[in-house]
Structure 1
Amino acid sequence: MSNKTANTLNDLVEALNDGIAFYDHAAKETQDASHQDLFRNMSRLKSIIAADLKTEVARQGETPANDSSWLGEFRQGYADLKAKLAKDPDATYVAALEAQEDRVLHAFRDAVDGDQPARVRELASTYLPQVRDMHDRMRALKQAKQA
């Protein structure tokens, strides 16, 4: 596998890992049972996609990314701080998670539309509908919280 392929797939995995960690954290912080279920489901879906991408990286003889990024950790910490000061902590987490979904969606779109190796475009295309659906679910929840 070329460095570009491994790097791109690992970038996607890292973005997914950021979401997994953030959703798991938010599920523990919220008191709303429906949010807990949604956040756990979103984490599970991201884990499935990340596992498949990691398998492809490993199949090609490279080391898959297993950690989240410093940016993901920073966003989670910032959301925690804002939630402590907010009237509606859940709305704060939902807005931050929706921003995380923007990042993941953007990464997958770039992998599909950008100058990427064919295998990267193929895998990103396969998962783009699910990534878009997760983004749209969080955007709808954010909009409902703002209404």
Structure 2
Amino acid sequence: MLPRPQTAICNALIRRSIDLLLLYRRAAAGCEPGLRMVLGENVHTLQLLIADLQEQLRAGGVGPRDHGSWRGVVHRHVTGWLVRIVARRDGAWIRALSHHESALLHAFEQAIECMPVESALVLRRQMPRLRGIHLDMHSLAGSARY
């Protein structure tokens, strides 16, 4: 079983991941079909990441979080409102998602640094998934500038 502070860190990462997943879903609902497909793939990757983290906590005898944070709700609504007022909505969604994705990647990296090696192993296994999303969003953000 993970010690309480490490459980809290994992649950916080789960909540942030759920927040990002819901933001991706909202963005995909209003984007063109090609971008919607890419965002859908990232949603699927985040679902796998969240399920894996939740399962790890359950295996340790801890009840994992299954919903996002109130901040995520606010971010989704504010971002949706801001995107509606810009001319290039797809580009605005890409930049917003890229920003939140980078923040999630950074949160995982910080959590890995502050956790003991054995506990951080669970998070390290998720890094390839997060880096894959990061590369997708980075390349999309680069092309959305034009």
1:92-131 aligned within 5 A = 92-112=92-112, 114-131=113-130
1:133 aligned partner, one-letter code: G
Q: Secondary structure at the match of 2:125?
A: helix
**Contact 1:75 1:96 (8 Å CA) reproduced:** no
**1:68, CA displacement in angstroms?**
0.9
Distance 2:142 2:83 in 1: 17
The structural deviation recorded for 1:71 is 2.1
Find runs of 4+ consecutive structure 1 residues off by over 6 angstroms. Answer: none
Question: What is the CA–CA distance in structure 2 between the aligned matches of 1:68 and 1:14, rounded to whole Å?
Answer: 4
Two-structure CA RMSD over aligned residues (Å): 1.3
Q: Structure 2: give runs of 5+ residues left out of the alignment.
A: none
What's 2:74 paired with? Answer: 74
Give me the whole-angstrom Cα distance separating, in 2, the residues matched to 1:83 and 1:116.
Answer: 37
1:146 corresponds in structure 2 to 145
TM score, norm. by length of structure 2: 0.93
Matching residue of 1:29: 30
Which residue of structure 1 aligns with residue 43 of structure 2?
A: 43
Partner of 1:133: 132
Separation of aligned partners in 1, 2:20 and 2:6: 21
Residue 60 of structure 1 aligns with which residue?
A: 60
Q: Deviations over 1:33-85 (max 9, x none)?
A: 11111111101100101101101111111110111112222221121111111
User: Partners of 2:119 and 2:4 in 1: how far apart?
Assistant: 12
SS of equivalent residue, structure 1 residue 4 = helix
Contact 2:56 2:122 in 1 (8 A): no
Tell me how far apart the structure 1 counterparts of residues 114 and 28 of structure 2 sit (CA, whole Å): 36
1:8 counterpart residue number: 9
Alpha-carbon deviation of 1:118? 3.0
Report the 3-state secondary structure (helix = DSSP H, G, I; strand = E; otherwise coil) of the residue aligned with 2:22. Answer: helix
Unpaired runs of at least 5, structure 1? none
1:8 Cα deviation from its structure 2 partner: 1.2
User: d(CA) in 2 for partners of 1:24 and 1:120?
Assistant: 30
- Alignment length (residue pairs): 145
CA separation of 1:87/1:21 partners in 2, compared to 1, >3 Å: closer, same or farther? same
TM-score by length of 1: 0.92
